[in-house]
């Protein structure tokens, strides 16, 4: 298996738990966010960090999930819902339970797409997620 550019087959991806997908998706979403912010030009590390935290926090990811829902395929929506409905043991103080579950669903979707090697779809959904209204 390649760890930087994995391409799991559907049967392999289905075997992973929703929280395992979300674990990977959290890192993918954060890396994409940091890359986007850094590519915009010179900023201090502190400003980059603060901007990234705002975009990867559960409330922002929940808003992104709501924005993306109408654009998802049936299969993607299933992965999102599986992640959203996963049992989590704790919720950060800065978000509601609903926001945290929606963010977990988004992260599961991003993890699933990444692990399946669907880079173009990841890029498309990420752009839609972070686009200003």
Question: Would you state the pLDDT for residue 131?
Answer: 81
Instruction: Give the CATH number for residue 80.
Output: 1.10.1520.10
Q: Is 89 among the domain residues?
A: yes
Q: Is 92 among the domain residues?
A: yes
Each residue of 71-106: pLDDT tens digit? Answer: 999 999 999 999 999 988 778 888 898 999 999 999
Out of 18, 22, 26, 60, the active site residue is: 26
Q: Is 86 among the domain residues?
A: yes
Q: Is 23 among the domain residues?
A: yes
Gyration radius from the chain CA atoms:
14
How many domains would you assign to the chain? 1
Q: Is 114 among the domain residues?
A: yes
Q: At what angle do helices 45-56 and 58-68 cross, to 10 degrees?
A: 60
How far are the Cα atoms of 57, 58, 100, 107 from residue 88, in angstroms, in the given order? 16, 13, 9, 13
Decide if 26 is catalytic.
yes
Q: Is 4 among the domain residues?
A: no
Instruction: Give the residue numbers spanning the domain of 121.
Output: 10-130
């Amino acid at each position: 298996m390649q760890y930087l550019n994995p391409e799991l087959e559907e049967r392999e991806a289905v075997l992973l738990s929703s929280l395992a997908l979300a674990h990977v998706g959290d890192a993918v979403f954060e890396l994409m966010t940091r890359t986007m912010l850094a590519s915009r030009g010179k900023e201090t590390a502190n400003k980059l960090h603060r901007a990234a935290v705002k975009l990867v926090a559960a409330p922002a990811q929940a808003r992104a999930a709501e924005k993306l829902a109408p654009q998802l395929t049936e299969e993607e929506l299933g992965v999102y819902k599986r992640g959203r409905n996963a049992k989590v043991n704790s919720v950060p103080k800065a978000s509601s339970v609903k926001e945290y579950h929606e963010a977990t669903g988004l992260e599961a979707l991003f993890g699933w797409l990444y692990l399946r090697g669907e880079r173009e779809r990841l890029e498309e959904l990420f752009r839609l997620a972070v686009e200003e209204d």
